[in-house]
Structure 1
């Protein structure tokens, strides 16, 4: 008989790596002196990085009790997860630790935080003498995020990031005197909508910045800034050598605006710019060449991705890049995209059918792409296959197939384009004609999937047939999203057999009671996102009564407020 305790220490330590800190501690702490020493060794080494953002709330409190503040080098806390308020930041700092106890902390990530919390948190951060990286991810319900110079005056911070999951959040500079010039911040990322006037103010505060990554808009939410449709001017000299600009969707920024902005970046060596634009001058290679020759003499690398909608390709001067830069242009009747090669971005959308405007070239490697999305505009016949044969996607992590026939009609067509073994997240559905290729794909890669989204009821119905149920293994899937009205009670047993380890479930049901048997049958389920018409007429008190009457109250630990027909549940 094999006993776990007979394994050598080295192998047990390797096995511990497959468990999170909480499960490792609860399972093995106190067994005997040997396991206590092994646990201490692994836990001590792992506490250099502590990430609470994906940890279940019940585990959060247990981990806080045994973590050692003096060993922590990187800390991630989140106030929200899946729209449920879990309030980790105040809990951590008000109950378990004071900031001055984290004396060796170097990297701090605070997610789901609003402007007021940031401002109140700032004075305390000055206690962290070793802090070099600070990241704030703002709530999407916040409409404006104000940056005071005090953010920039944290003397040890070299890297500063302001992020959001989406939504229209304005990032506004505080222009009140006195103007403080900051020399120590070298890297700044602002993934909020930053208007160009605020960018000017930012550059005044940070003239020695080395790297800047921003999401730029022409519209302003700052009442002290006033802009019209005239070109914007910037004339502040900076030390920036790396610049990344994402143009805010459908912004009114023109090529002339970007040309004026670049006056401040004379020392620029690497320049990346992307966005959905309305000014066709972004597609003019000659204008870009003239701009680089006159304004950016030190530029070594130039990468871009521009998309324009419903514009005749004949009016876009895309061939003007051919003499000096390698580009690819994909176009159909709805959308045209132009980008530099090799492709430099992690996401790509192929709107089928499309034609390649650039001259034919040998097979192109899109190795940087991690997320690939296919969507078909119509069923018209095209020479699509010849275009796709010139592409190779070896590192796709997330694949989205919404409508692909007749352009990709078999699994063989898809495997010639994509290395299937790397796919971990799959989003499929909508088109009935694609069901067979979707089933074939699931048979091939289901054993490697971490998340699955299905948008077609007929496809989901096919999974219950005996042949498919036996040939498709979904044991590794932790996150499942079903984007159609469902739950046939007779499939509950098969559902649990096919997806036995699902932890997060998103579903649409006709009635709330349709979901009860499924929730009670999935042992590992910890989060549920539910869409139901009944929720439109229900308040929180009504949902609480339903939880009690359906005997779900013993299962549900926390829930969000219902918004229209949607609600989120945390399960025990």
Structure 2
């Protein structure tokens, strides 16, 4: 069937599922009918500027964005290594967030400046429909006042109902000093901010309509403080790291809780202890999900302790009333005698797995079948100890994996745990002394949709050995786990890389090089490169201050890069500079 035979309504339905800049790049200008659908009939646009080429960004923002900005309902921008300085560049083109008058959702990733964020949030105050805000920021240098202004500006958004703040900032406790009150925020996520009784009370006081809270660990709750009841909360996701009595003091403050998700560390609560807490404090609970790290006694039989733990979750309260089933994983070779106890189905994004693991559960469905765990992110480690003498009581199979972290080489049993890799988009590989390139190649052949390969290498790694290939990989990252005494690639190794099949299709490259001139070499010979993040060794000059080195780098970049490229320079904890370059090349 010809595409032209499709009804307009079908075109509109299909277009509403696609990112708007990809729509215009693929369909604008084909004919008058398609242009009319794009510019007149289509009423909802989802604009995601992540991973866009600089050329496409310039073309779209200058030629098309003005004509549709009143119909954009979702906007996602980022200042990461793939699109450095994009938010600032968007504003420099004369755009204001307030121009997107029907915007409902705004997401901002990897911005390091509270000043820029404050500009954007202040413009959001003019939006009448903004209900969802997602911000990820890492900032180590801005003064506390800027962060406080930023938080107060968010809490002053009158329509905001859902707020997700992934903030890595040493003075994030300024959240306690907020003066603004939000009568609209109902669901809040602050996964990297810890609370105690005082600052949580302060948060609830300034967010009186809060119904759902997703947070990091919570500090101590004491009876001697005036009791504050968090009656609005019905949903809570939190990390538990304090003593049981303090947790009880907190739990009695949330009497209307219906949905609870716990990540429990450094505390062993068996089913009976949890049942006592729930019966006493949680009368309205509907859904309970948890995972808990358990330290078993080294003096008693490990499997008997596992059975005792599981038996405590076989009561009428858990099985019949709440239909809650629990699984316990442990490794017989583990000298620390630790285990992982969690509700099933598994309810968390990340799962840490090690070869030789054994499992038991309270679920009747898992007695004779392989356990299937659906988790987006899996960290898979192989055990060097021979565990062939141990029987696997409940083999596990991972499904729906999007991101995987592994070490090479791994045991062949790996393929029984992860037989399908068709949904995998990101792979984080760490090499051991015995290089496993053939095994890595086999892995890549089974991952047809793999986009990103993150490659952790040793100091003695040679690019001459790196002869792998993949048709799907577009992002390639070379890194080391430590930040000093790094392995920098010389010009010969950069040439070997640039001549490889992976480099020919690579769009995003992260690498450490010996000389800054290698930056130009990589840019000139990699035809599809749109973003380069590089740490040059020759910027390490102990005779100069960091600002002098930065000024020197800026001068060199300005002299050697085309004027239509943009770049940013950031420094890590060890004061090593990383240059992120956004190339302006036609795609």
Normalising by the smaller structure, the TM-score range is 0.7 to 0.9
SS of 2:478's partner is strand
- Is 1:62 aligned with 2:65? no
Aligned twin of 1:348: 351
Please report the RMSD computed on the Cα atoms of aligned residues, expressed in angstroms: 4.1
Aligned twin of 1:392: 397
Aligned twin of 2:483: none
Q: Deviations over 1:128-149 (max 9, x none)?
A: 2222223333333368643766
So what's the TM-score if we normalise by structure 2?
Answer: 0.76
Q: Deviations over 1:6-61 (max 9, x none)?
A: 963649969989996446546765x5xx5244144246638521223443445434
For 1:26-175, list aligned pairs within 5 A. Answer: 29=28, 35-42=31-38, 45=42, 48-65=45-62, 66-67=64-65, 68-78=68-78, 80-82=79-81, 86=85, 88=87, 91-92=90-91, 95-97=94-96, 99=98, 101-111=99-109, 112=111, 114-115=113-114, 124-141=123-140, 145-146=147-148, 151-164=154-167, 166=168, 168=170, 170-174=172-176
Number of residue equivalences: 529
Match of 1:560 among 542, 564, 569: 569
Asked if the contact 2:194/2:215 (under 8 Å) is kept, the reply is yes
Residue 420 of structure 1 deviates from its aligned partner by 2.2
So what's the TM-score if we normalise by structure 1?
Answer: 0.78
Aligned twin of 2:262: 273
- Is 1:243 aligned with 2:247? no
- In structure 2, the CA distance between the partners of 1:404 and 1:286, relative to structure 1 (3 Å rule), is farther
Give distance in 1, aligned partners of 2:488 and 2:389: 34
Give distance in 1, aligned partners of 2:557 and 2:123: 42
- In structure 2, the CA distance between the partners of 1:88 and 1:9, relative to structure 1 (3 Å rule), is farther
Match of 2:277 among 291, 309, 322: 291
Asked if the contact 2:429/2:455 (under 8 Å) is kept, the reply is yes
Match of 1:508 among 502, 509, 512: 512
Aligned twin of 2:322: none
- Is 1:481 aligned with 2:467? no
Aligned twin of 2:320: none
Residue 299 of structure 1 deviates from its aligned partner by 1.4
Aligned twin of 2:193: 193
Q: Deviations over 1:410-441 (max 9, x none)?
A: 6xx41454422222222223122644432221
Match of 2:290 among 304, 322, 341: 304
Residue 294 of structure 1 deviates from its aligned partner by 0.6
Aligned twin of 1:322: 311
Aligned twin of 2:335: 333
Higher relative contact order (CA 8 A, sep 6+): 2
Match of 1:371 among 371, 377, 382: 377
Give distance in 2, aligned partners of 1:176 and 1:498: 49
- In structure 2, the CA distance between the partners of 1:63 and 1:507, relative to structure 1 (3 Å rule), is same
